[in-house]
Amino acid sequence: MKVLVAVKRVIDYNVKIRVKPDNSDVDLTNVKMAMNPFCEIAVEEAVRLKEAGVATEVVAVTVGPKAAQEQLRTALALGADRAVHVQTEAPVESLAAAKLLAKVVEEEQPQLTILGKQAIDSDNNQVGQMLAALTGRPQGTFASEIAVEGETLKVTREIDGGLQTVSLALPAIVTTDLRLNEPRYAKLPDIMKAKKKPLSVTTPEELGVAVASKVKLVKVEPPAERQGGIKVGSVDELVDKLKNEAKVIS
Amino acid sequence: MSILVLAEHHDGALAGATAHVVAAAKEIGGDIDVLVAGEGVSAIAEAAAKLDGVSRVRVADHAVYAHQLAEPMGALLAELAGDYSHVLAVGSTTGKNVLPRLAALKDVAQLSEIIAVESADTFKRPIYAGNAIATVQSDDALKVITVRATAFDAVGESGSAAIEAVKTVFDNAQSSFVGEQLAESDRPELGAAKVVVSGGRGMGSGENFKLLDGIADKLGAAIGASRAAVDAGFVPNDMQVGQTGKIVAPELYIAVGISGAIQHLAGMKDAKVIVAINKDEEAPIFQVADYGLVGDLFEVLPELESKL
């Protein structure tokens, strides 16, 4: 079966972000970018399905600026067969991203589409669910284990309080949680080979999707700073401070 | 304006977080209805009817809503949403699973994990693992919102709302429930606990997490963990506090053997008082801790337990 995997270019998760002085947004100039960690897990799962003989083709897709092709090349180096880039320099919110991906799903007709559960920039956790709704497919969100069993997909999901297992009729949409797998690193020869793999480029206009959102970013501020604390010298002092100064224990 | 709040419930009981979401709904203003969907949920509906500010509880009680699978739940919410200007749910795994599906079915955006209500169309929400706070304004006719429960105080329980049945039922041939494995715990729920004691990689092993038990018992605390401790296999992942785990804001958070990575801080930096116990005095956790104790946790924890 064909597997489609969606990836997003985001700020590297180790970078400490800065808010722009005019509070218009987060400053992303000259900041290291990378593939969203949850998307790495999605690519890894797709490649493992191919290695297991379950998937016949893995197609990576991204929506974003020209530079996002770096992340598609990373996905190709990790084992994806070809890539689709929906290129736009405009900011794309979750709903528009889901509509664009729905068009790609319509064209490619994958049996399984894998996304990360959330991007670490907007922290939305929406696109996979929205894509499932728009394509009329069932969803297996926050997956920590998946298994293809004939025409169905068994998904173990991380829920509050434990794990839940559901069975979905294929074709389906899955979003990855952290413990689904441990992504591999791209090897240098694979990075070289990835440069020759096919990468097709389209645009929101060609797909007939308007990316404008009805949600306006009014301002972005740094969070309230915590007051600097103190170091105590002993357990006795700690207990005393908690009882008599902070008054959080009795 | 009228607001629909999706009730959160587990094991036949209304989850405490629902009362926090009703509080957010009160700040928006307007009539507040609560939807209780599930199977055999009459007791949950009665509990929801007691929440202050709720004018009506709508109950969809049917086998298709058992386990609140996203496909029938999304369809049900989309059917009911026409009566409302806002649909709110807890930013729990259920809320996060279901609400974006509703939003897409209604062709509107969703605002995730709001922490403040500025007005009926403007909200604050954290982005970049809580390292920035965005103020967003939605012009959509229907606002679909998940609420970070810890950012709002729970409403009281002196109300007596009317309860009425919702008869709409959807066939669901797309998904089915197979089973679940829930972690057993006698302690308070992590997201709602007033005191949380968390262990990190510095705990060294899962066995050593028992060192936290005595302290948690004495303080009536829930026990949490950092992602490092979960990834190392010390404890199950539903104990994880952080950007990708649970977000907590207790009165007291005690971080033991936790360095304080950005990912972890995103889950706990709104705690009222933070205590850090770590042998590395350079650990970033000390930058957010109100009280820091540099020392070996294997010596500090037994002493702390004996002195509480």
Chain B nearest C-alpha distance from A162 (Å): 4
Cβ–Cβ below 8 Å for A230 and B136: no
Query: Most A CBs within 10 Å: which of B138, B175, B294, as the mutation test of the A interface?
Result: B175
pLDDT for the residue A209: 97
Beta pairing partners, B143? B86
CA dist A83 and A198 (Å) reads: 6
Minimal-distance CA residue of chain B relative to A162: B182
Query: B131-149 pLDDT, tens per residue?
Result: 999 999 999 999 999 999 9
Minimal-distance CA residue of chain A relative to B75: A133
CB B24 within 8 A of CB B114: yes
pLDDT for the residue B192: 82
Chain A nearest C-alpha distance from B28 (Å): 17
Cβ–Cβ below 8 Å for A141 and B178: no
pLDDT for the residue A84: 98
Chain A residues touching residue B71 (CB < 8 angstroms): 138-139
Query: A73-86 pLDDT, tens per residue?
Result: 999 999 999 999 99
| Alpha helix stretches (DSSP H) within chain A | 37-51, 69-78, 94-108, 127-135, 188-194, 204-207, 235-240
CA dist B105 and B91 (Å) reads: 19
Tell me the percentage of chain A whose pLDDT exceeds 90.
Answer: 92
Beta pairing partners, B165? B59
Let me know if B122 is exposed, middle or buried by CB neighbors in 10 A (0-12, 13-18, 19+).
Answer: middle
- What's the per-residue H, E or C state across B247-306? CCCCCEEEEECCCCCHHHHHHHCCCCEEEEEECCCCCCHHHHCCEEEECCHHHHHHHHHH
**A111 pLDDT above the threshold of 90:** yes
Picking from A17, A129, A249, the nearest residue to B70 by CB comes out as A129
Cβ–Cβ below 8 Å for A229 and B274: yes
pLDDT for the residue B191: 83
Minimal-distance CA residue of chain B relative to A96: B109
pLDDT for the residue B244: 83
Cβ–Cβ below 8 Å for A161 and B227: no
pLDDT, average across residues A92-112: 98
State phi, psi for B284 to the nearest 5 degrees.
Answer: -60, -20
Query: B46-86 pLDDT, tens per residue?
Result: 999 999 999 999 999 999 999 999 999 999 999 999 999 99
**A228 pLDDT above the threshold of 80:** no
Query: A121-169 pLDDT, tens per residue?
Result: 999 999 999 999 999 999 999 999 999 999 999 999 999 888 999 999 9
Cβ–Cβ below 8 Å for B219 and A249: yes
Minimal-distance CA residue of chain A relative to B136: A217
Q: Which residues contact A211 (CB under 8 A, 6 or more apart)?
A: A88, A90, A91, A92, A93, A96, A100, A204
Query: Most A CBs within 10 Å: which of B290, B304, B308, as the mutation test of the A interface?
Result: B290
pLDDT for the residue B118: 98
Cβ–Cβ below 8 Å for A141 and B70: yes
pLDDT, average across residues A70-75: 98
- Sorting pLDDT into bands at 50, 70 and 90, what band is A61? very high
Place of tokens 């496909």: B71
Query: Which amino acid, one-letter code, is at B182?
Result: L
List C-alpha distances in Å: B120 to B17, B81, B236: 21, 17, 39
DSSP H or E segment with residue B19: helix B17-28
CB B229 within 8 A of CB B252: no
Q: DSSP characters for B37-104?
A: EESS-HHHHHHHHTSTT--EEEEEESGGGGGG-HHHHHHHHHHHGGG-SEEEEESSHHHHHHHHHHHH
Minimal-distance CA residue of chain B relative to A169: B174
pLDDT tens for chain B, 308 residues: list them.
899 999 999 989 999 999 999 999 999 999 999 999 999 999 999 999 999 999 999 999 999 999 999 999 999 999 999 999 999 999 999 999 999 999 999 999 999 999 999 999 999 999 999 999 999 999 999 999 999 998 999 999 999 999 999 999 999 999 999 999 987 778 888 888 999 999 999 999 999 999 999 999 999 999 999 999 999 999 988 899 998 888 999 999 999 999 999 889 999 999 999 999 999 999 999 999 999 999 999 999 999 999 99
pLDDT for the residue B137: 98
pLDDT for the residue B284: 94
pLDDT for the residue A65: 97
**A12 pLDDT above the threshold of 90:** yes
Cβ–Cβ below 8 Å for B127 and A121: yes
Query: A25-52 pLDDT, tens per residue?
Result: 999 999 999 999 999 999 999 999 999 9
Average pLDDT, chain B: 95
List C-alpha distances in Å: A36 to A182, A186, B147, B291: 14, 15, 24, 34
A246 touches B at CB < 8 Å: yes
